[in-house]
Structure 1
Amino acid sequence: MTRPALCLAFCMLATPSLADSAAGGDWPQWQGPNRDAASAATGLLQEWPEGGPKLAWQVEELGGGDSAPAIADGRLYGMSNRGDEEVVWALNESDGSPLWASPLGPAFDQRFPQSKEGPGCTPTVNGDRLYVIGMGGTVACLRAADGEVLWRRSMTEEFGGVVPAWSYRESPLVDGGRVICTPGGKDATIAALDKLTGETIWTTVVPEAEKPAGDGDEQEGGRRRRRGFDLGPPSGAAYSSPIAIDFDGRRQYLQFTGLALVGVDAEDGRLLWRYDHPANAMRINCSTPIFHDGLAFAASAYGTGGGAVRLSPDGQGGVEAEEVYFSSNMQNHHGGMLVIDNALYGANGGNGGGFLACLDFPSGELLWRDRDAPKGALLYADRRIYLRSEDGEVLLIEPNRDELITHGRFEQPQRTDKPAWAHPVVANGRLYIRDQGLLLCYDVSAAASGG
């Protein structure tokens, strides 16, 4: 395979080994080991010094994109646009030095926005392979050691998938022998592929449902327009990534499609249940679903909100999903949500801005909201919430049901003029912040400050 030269400018500002005192391991896929944005890490800083934690190293010229890195077995993996190509890359975890880069194909010509920053998929590492989804719908399996592409499928050409307005940004789920992806086509909303060969195992159709258009939405010639912007033909796919759950002795995949939050039987792809209420009319559903204590939850912005359904057997081998509550106080746009001690944390607000909100997860009751914690993306590690705001500021927050408590904040250096959409990542005592072609690695282990 011909690979482009890996031209990265990397600056190793410090060369400590990974802190032995910061346990918790790797971050091998989107939202961490369990796809719940929570890390098992311990031994991390509980308070940041003024100006933030110590910068260990930084890498520049990665190429455009919002792909947060996956970390496994001493390597970082991510995606970018470089020139006219869409690439998957690997870096050394210790210092950010380049290891390999492999092209998936031509950079996808995004319709909206016009700036074509680059892919948003976080690779999924599984054994000696990794799996990615390109912006135009290429699903590929690569060898982790050297980036050789072992197989690839096209969600548009082979499954009739419709590319969403902001392109495909899903991170594939690998579960058992299956790779789960969301083409969004009329005959294949969701698909399961064999992880070794890429062959189709099953497909699922999520039917269209009657739903009124949102404020400013127009339908014209099979295309959608939103306040004058052409959103293109409707897709059954959105921008969320699926999770796997076990319920009533059955494995399910939960995905927030362009149409609804759905549960799909892992064995045969049968649609078990659907919940339409959290899906907005524009089909801009971005956040990963949550499943906690028998409740499945999803939320979106654009004047919509979030709702929870309780799953129960229907007595005929199926599953019922009964709404427990719906709240406009959790209009989560793209930053994701966390459940900690039965409290739901997430940004409430859309393109016009927003702020952190905290709800009682079992009831949906609003506990607090605070504009001092701006809209952004979240993760949880060692008793602290990490908030990476859309403007670039990074906050360390103590989970609390009564009020916002912060334990440090800093402004990310070398900010681009793009929204900071890449989610933060914590692995092996380090915090990773990506801003398009820039990747910053901070040492957040307690040992870093002698703590």
Structure 2
Amino acid sequence: MLCQLLLLFLLAAVAAADWPQWRGPQRDGQIANFSAPATWPDSLQLQWRTPVGRGDASPVVSGGHIFVHTRRDEEEYVSALDLAEGRLLWQDSYGDVPYQWATHHADERGKGPFATPALADGVLYTYGVTQVLSAYEAASGQLLWRHRLNQSLPFGTSASPIAVDGRVIVHIGDGKVGPLTAFDGRSGKTVWTWDADGPSYSSPIIGTWDGTRQLVLLTFQHCIALNPATGELLWQIPFSHPWEENIPTPLRSGDNLILTAMERGTLAVRPTRTDSGWVAETVWHNPDLWMYTNSPVLHGDLLYAFSTQRKGQFFCLDARTGKTLWTTQGRQGDYTSLLSAAEVLFSLGNDATLSIIEPSATAWKTLAQYQVADSPTWAHPVVLDDRLLIKDATDLSLWTLPTGP
């Protein structure tokens, strides 16, 4: 009991070294406390590796504990592990999660889960590939509630839940129809729904514009902003995808929102309050470069991204104007996860190659590369001070990162 009370205390507040949700504390891929070394070593030191199951959901971390959502055969597992040693603390599993691939292309990614859990106020939320939404006491693993929403997007649910003010918000449905829904975090009761457009594969973010908090996300055919407390629609703009697959997470850049989709280019819109309500106007549009399944990161006024164009290429835009600053030659892979620290960028390809990149407005400059797994790495990595968490096809591993003064 004493250990559980201590863990609950540690989980109650998000520390600087915590990673409680998709793409980090602010859902933007920014690393708060990492100081790069003057020279990068030839290899990284592996601290531990442990099997956890299949799936591409990223781990989340709080209070020195890791939470990961995976699949084994026809069951989904939710596990808590000790960060220092990889020791299992608690685990839960549930069945009845049948999932059939929509096309033969989807079988390369497996049967999920794909959505990264969210951790807030001592409660862990997971969202399974077939839209099984669960809430746990993070300290003990006690199940608070579970909703089997029994819908599935053609390629499985991948939009990560977001926890806001004691509620968890997810988009339910089959792609073209379905409500965006806020549930009470403790009871699981429905607080509000918004039911005008179906879900996408993109995850929502939270931001404040002109004193108004806004939940921003890409739906099946729009970019929308809602009041997270009430579900009231504040503004929306058309944002459809030729393949019906809005995937990248919106990214805030100053007062702008960076949006992108395959064959739509990359653009910045600015939410503005007017006498007649909220509008979102286009600030710039770069029609030549776009992202498909990848989400961008910022480093100052530079926007870094990876596109499936030319069989995989990195590019950099001026985030203020949308001007293309550089692109790489191409043929650089299928996918990469990008994170941004004060002095470097981290790029993890699905081939398990971790690249350390020097931020530059003139070229892609690789400082070091490391092989961090023997199987594909579609899940985003987690960087916590001098530690690196990697989820590969079946295992979770912890590595030590070199740091500067």
Corresponding residue number in structure 1 for 2:11 = none
Amino acid paired to 1:27: W
Corresponding residue number in structure 2 for 1:436 = 393
**Structure 1 residues not aligned, in runs of 5+:** 1-22, 157-161, 208-235
Pairing partner for 2:305 from 315, 322, 346: 346
Distance 1:257 1:25 in 2: 31
SS at match of 1:446: coil
Distance 2:65 2:93 in 1: 18
Q: Does 1:315 align with 2:275?
A: yes
Taking the TM superposition and a 5 Å limit, the aligned residue runs for 1:9-408 are 24-45=16-37, 47-50=39-42, 52-60=43-51, 62-112=52-102, 113-114=106-107, 116-156=110-150, 162-184=151-173, 188-207=178-197, 236-277=198-239, 279-301=240-262, 303-316=263-276, 318-349=277-308, 353-371=311-329, 374=333, 375-408=335-368
Offset, 1:44? 4.2
Task: Summarize the Cα distance change of 1:441–1:353 in structure 2 as closer, same or farther, 3 Å threshold.
Answer: farther
1:374-408 deviation digits (Å, cap 9, x = unpaired): 54110112421100112221100111112212210
Distance 1:32 1:44 in 2: 19
Offset, 1:165? 1.3
1:286-335 deviation digits (Å, cap 9, x = unpaired): 2111122211121122x33222111111212x211111222234321222
Number of residue pairs matched by the alignment: 384
Task: Summarize the Cα distance change of 1:104–1:310 in structure 2 as closer, same or farther, 3 Å threshold.
Answer: same
- Kept in 2, the 8 Å contact 1:238–1:257? The answer is yes
SS at match of 2:95: strand
Distance 1:422 1:30 in 2: 10
Task: Summarize the Cα distance change of 1:371–1:348 in structure 2 as closer, same or farther, 3 Å threshold.
Answer: same
- Kept in 1, the 8 Å contact 2:337–2:380? The answer is yes
Offset, 1:35? 0.9
**Structure 2 residues not aligned, in runs of 5+:** 1-14
Distance 1:385 1:276 in 2: 32
Distance 2:38 2:259 in 1: 30
Larger mean CA deviation between 144-153 and 104-113 belongs to 104-113
1:147-190 deviation digits (Å, cap 9, x = unpaired): 2210122334xxxxx52111111221111122111114677431
1:249-281 deviation digits (Å, cap 9, x = unpaired): 21110011221221111222122222324x412
- Kept in 1, the 8 Å contact 2:34–2:385? The answer is no
Distance 2:111 2:85 in 1: 25
TM-score, length basis structure 2: 0.89
Amino acid paired to 1:106: D
Bigger fraction of residues in helix: 2
Offset, 1:87? 1.2
Could you tell me the percent identity over the aligned residues? 29
- Kept in 1, the 8 Å contact 2:298–2:340? The answer is no
Offset, 1:409? 0.6
Distance 1:85 1:126 in 2: 25
Amino acid paired to 1:102: D
Distance 2:232 2:92 in 1: 35
Distance 2:38 2:189 in 1: 46
RMSD value, Cα: 2.1
Distance 2:288 2:298 in 1: 15
Amino acid paired to 2:33: A
